[in-house]
């Protein structure tokens, strides 16, 4: 069994990005990322701090606009519109989830698609589905980088994606299909989840249910990618896979933490760098 080291791979990608940023800066261009953080959700604050720190390490210009949890939709829109026009900002990220009184889809559609480094705007999502150049959502893009690094050929493979959200499962399925995999997408209403996962050469799970994928749900030699991030009551961070038992059957598996998580940030930096390079042609 090979334990996939997302931390190591993300460091490698980030160090290449840092070198590129240095070269760009010598030409007077500094990639800039703006994060909008609404409310006081501790997990969101942690993610934003991590993203901000990685940006600074890579030499980016990085700002965070913190808005109160009672902020109006109009106020968030106003902030995004300002950032859309700001020439120092190449990428805009609205940290999700937003408070319940905010229409998330509407907010994401306000972001200039050329600055949509999270890849959640329908414009970029559509381009991903059509296999055109786009900002692909960072987490699925990170998983694709893992396959590339570990020489895992997707062509003709049976892949079961568990979870079908707009930010994880759906774009993941599109990227896999673009790589000529045969993709099954499953979700909360899937009748017999195990019947799908058991047939798959590769299982990719991102649902937010600790231990959902058990050893009898994967076939011998399967590749298992765990996108889930769950904080247990005892403070431990775990994924959606019963790692201890499932890993015994796998050919490759990602740990949590240290698997897909760090790759998401590396892809955010990569998309922001791409936006900056596009800006200067």
Q: Which residues are catalytic?
A: 51, 95, 118
* CB nearer ligand NAD, residue 69 or residue 214: 214
What tokens does 204 get?
Answer: 């990719």
User: Rounded to the nearest whole angstrom, what is the least distance from the CB of residue 29 to ligand NAD in the complex?
Assistant: 28
- Give the nearest distance from C-beta 266 to ligand NAD in angstroms: 10
Q: Based on CB atoms, which residue is closest to ligand NAD, 55 or 162?
A: 162
Tell me if residue 1 falls in helix, strand or coil. Answer: coil
Question: Would you say 152 or 204 has its CB closer to ligand NAD?
Answer: 204
Dist CA 144 CA 195 (whole Å): 25
Q: How far is the CB of 162 from ligand NAD (least distance, A)?
A: 5
Binding site for ligand NAD (CB under 6 A): 139, 162-165, 167-169, 186-188, 190, 193, 206-209, 212, 227-230, 260-261, 264
- Residue 269: name the closest of 41, 85, 50, 28 by CA: 50
CB of 281 to ligand NAD, least distance (A): 31
DSSP, res 217: G
d(CA 149, CA 4): 10
CA distance 51 to 43: 12
93 token code pair: 């990220």
Q: Closest approach of Cβ 270 to ligand NAD, in Å? A: 14
- Among 198, 195, 209, CA closest to 242: 209
User: What span, in angstroms and rounded, lies between the C-alpha atoms of 1 and 65?
Assistant: 43
| Dihedral of alpha carbons 13, 15, 17, 19, sign | negative
- Beta carbon nearer to ligand NAD, 152 or 162: 162
Between 91 and 228, whose beta carbon lies closer to ligand NAD? 228
Coil/strand/helix, residue 231? strand
């Amino acid at each position: 069994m090979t334990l996939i080291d997302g931390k190591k791979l993300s460091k490698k990608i980030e160090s290449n990005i840092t070198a590129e940023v240095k070269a760009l800066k010598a030409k007077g261009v500094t990639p800039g990322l703006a994060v909008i953080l609404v409310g006081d959700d501790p997990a969101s604050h942690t993610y934003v701090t991590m993203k901000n720190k990685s940006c600074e390490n890579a030499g980016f210009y990085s700002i965070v606009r913190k808005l109160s949890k009672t902020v109006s939709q109009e106020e968030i829109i106003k902030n995004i519109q300002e950032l859309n026009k700001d020439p120092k900002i190449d990428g805009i990220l609205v940290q999700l989830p937003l408070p319940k009184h905010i229409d998330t889809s509407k907010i994401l559609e306000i972001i200039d698609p050329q600055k949509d480094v999270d890849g959640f705007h329908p414009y970029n999502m559509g381009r991903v589905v059509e296999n055109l150049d786009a900002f692909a959502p960072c987490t699925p893009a990170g998983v694709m980088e893992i396959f590339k690094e570990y020489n895992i050929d997707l062509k003709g493979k049976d892949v079961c994606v568990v979870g079908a959200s707009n930010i994880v499962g759906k774009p993941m399925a599109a990227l896999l299909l673009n790589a000529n995999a045969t993709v099954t997408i499953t979700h909360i209403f899937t009748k017999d989840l195990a019947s799908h996962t058991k047939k798959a050469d590769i299982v990719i799970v991102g649902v937010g249910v600790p231990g959902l994928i058990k050893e009898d749900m994967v076939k011998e030699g399967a590749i298992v990618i765990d996108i889930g991030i769950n904080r247990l009551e005892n403070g431990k961070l775990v994924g959606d896979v019963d790692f201890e038992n499932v890993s015994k059957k796998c050919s490759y598996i990602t740990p949590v933490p240290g698997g897909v998580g760090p790759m998401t940030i590396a892809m955010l930096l990569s998309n922001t760098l791409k936006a900056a390079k596009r800006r200067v042609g």
